[in-house]
Amino acid sequence: MQRWLKSFRASLLWTTVATVAGIGISGAVYTAQAGGPSEVKVVQGAYLITQPKLGSTRICLEPKGTVLHVLSGSTSAWWHVQDTSGHTGYITTNTKWVQPVTVSTANASTAATTTSTMSYTTVVHSAATLPPGVSLDASIQPRAGLGATWQQKYEAVLSVARSKLGTPYEWGHNEDRGQYGFDCSNYVEYVFHHALGYRFSTASRTQATSVGWSVPVSQMRPGDILVFDNGKHVGIYVGNNQMIQEGGGLGEVGYLSVAPGTYWRNHLTGVKRMF
């Protein structure tokens, strides 16, 4: 009887811990592996945690419908992910809570697909696919190539963007043309040019309409181009409700908040995914 009681208590403890962690004990477990999904969707609220193990510190509760980008380092029990606010951590692979965002082979070459269970369009594309309006400059060696991982591309973009912090605003200028300083759209193009080898229009309104995959504001993630007032200003989202940009009232390259309720969030009219 005592042995049975001990076993029952252990089972009860596991059930409680698993439920609180947003893991559950029913539903299939998806095994993370090479060639797996690049994004997963939360189908029931689940916690993002700091380490891939039970009892780890909670970062935040990811609500139902949230799309998370999968990073390297996932395990059979935990996805290593980054959310749209830039938080990075681990979330359960149990499909009762989190499910892979997949695209059928027939539609694999399609840049965007609409999933009937969502109220928005999820961009699905190969890591080696160039976004609309973009070509590759073969004359330079980018920090991350076309076939690099999402994490490598984001780190390359962030590195180049930060290298120009404090550079003054000069309308129409681009240091690729031997000029000193940038305006907002020339800065954005310069960053992607040196980080990923991309070439695209340096006109902000063209970047707003014809460059990158358009995604809903609710899905913006680090590395996306942010468009304000339909192209009057552009910047690059870096997570945690911050963007890095040129000008924007600062007169130089610097960070500005795009948190809900701020000036720039209220004027945000588009998000363009670049990788």
100-150 per-position pLDDT tens digit: 875 433 333 333 333 222 333 445 555 578 999 999 999 999 999 999 999
What pLDDT score was predicted for residue 83?
Answer: 78
Q: Is residue 117 part of a domain?
A: no
Asked whether 103 and 129 are in contact (CB, 8 A), the reply is no
Q: Which residues pair with 201 in a beta bridge?
A: none
Amino acid 76: pLDDT: 85
Classify residue 120: in a domain, yes or no.
Answer: no
Residues lower than pLDDT 50 in the chain:
1-34, 103-122
Residue 93's CATH number: 2.30.30.40
Confidence at residue 126, expressed as pLDDT on a 0 to 100 scale = 56
User: Is there a domain that residue 130 lies in?
Assistant: no
**Tokens of residue 238, six digits:** 């870096």
Angstrom distance (rounded) from CA 47 to CA 67 = 13
**Range of 239's domain?**
135-273
d(CA 198, CA 189): 8
- Is residue 89 in a domain? yes
pLDDT computed for residue 171 by the predictor:
97
- 14 & 80 share domain: yes
Q: Rounded to whole angstroms, how far apart are CA atoms 181 and 169? A: 6
Q: What's the pTM value of the predicted model, to 2 decimals?
A: 0.60
What length does the chain have?
A: 275
* pLDDT for position 25: 33
Q: Please name which of 207, 113, 109 lies closest in space to residue 198, comparing C-alpha atoms.
A: 207
